[in-house]
Amino acid sequence: MTSQSTPSSSLRLQGKVAIVTGASSGLGRAIALAYSVQGALVTCADLKPTARPQVPDELNITTHELIQERGGQAIFVEADVTKTDQVEELVKRTVATWGRLDILVNNAGIAIEARERFRLHETPESTWDQTLAVNAKSVFLASKFALQQMLEQEPSISGERGCIINMSSIYGLVGGSFVPSYAASKGAVSLLTMQIANDYSKDGIRCNAICPGHTRTAIFEDTEKYQMSKEWFDQNYPTGVGKPEDIAGMAVFLASDDARWVTGTRMPVDGGFTAR
């Protein structure tokens, strides 16, 4: 089922099957919605279907229900992406529902340090362990089971078996302030992206990372309140802080056939932050 407002011949992800982790709010919600508009069949994965209360506009309707309301096709699968059995089941449920898996978006993540300022010697071990589990181990697990499925399935019409898009960060490219565990986790995501691209390109599987700058999500609300002042954002983002839709647009491109020769990239989408 396709969007009534867009001719099916122009849909960039027509018929492709996608998993988006962390899909209930923020960047994951924006990506899932954008994928559906472009014709994808979407599995929305998260700890719960409802959004975080910090963004009231997202509380009116869940992501998968909004996709369905707009004429798209989507399901919700509850999954803790740090748990092996739940991630494996997520991929199995997706394939059982849609028949294959073309796109994995490893978006689920946390930023404990958005609320608490730590240098490394002050960082609690629990903060380090939780951040690395949610932000890095989850990418390993979801990619592991997605790759197994993609290797087994026949290539699509374009010749690809699938693609993986990992959500890194500007702090997976450059150093930040008072975010040691977050930066370490996103650095791991950036380098794992390149490793996957190197190891699976000959199998027809691409892997790229998006490295967003500060974007207006629930995490941004914490950052603005506890970490950085409005003046800091104005100084470092002369074009303004990003919106989830800015990241979703890049996620659509990287998943589409237009990006068929793009793999192993760490793509900053940051209003020029890392160009300084």
For the stretch 191-195, contacts whose Cβ atoms lie closer than 8 Å and that sit 24 or more positions apart, written own/partner, are 192/136, 192/139, 192/140, 192/143, 192/166, 193/164, 193/166, 193/168, 193/264, 193/265, 193/266, 194/264, 194/266
Distant-in-sequence, close-in-space partners of 195: CB < 8 Å, separation ≥ 6? none
| DSSP β-bridge partners for residue 166 | 106, 209
Type and span of the H or E element at 268: strand 266-269
Reply yes or no on whether 182 is catalytic. Answer: yes
Structure token digits, residue 203: 């199998």
Structure token digits, residue 95: 């394939």
Distant-in-sequence, close-in-space partners of 156: CB < 8 Å, separation ≥ 6? 16, 102
Q: How far apart are CA 216 and CA 27, in angstroms?
A: 9
Instruction: Region of 185 please: left (phi>0), alpha (psi -120 to 50) or beta.
Output: alpha
Q: Pick the catalytic residue: 182, 200, 226, 237? A: 182
Taking a C-beta distance cutoff of 8 angstroms, is the pair 74, 64 a contact? Answer: yes
Q: Reduced to 3 states, what is the DSSP secondary structure of residue 134?
A: helix
Active site residues: 182
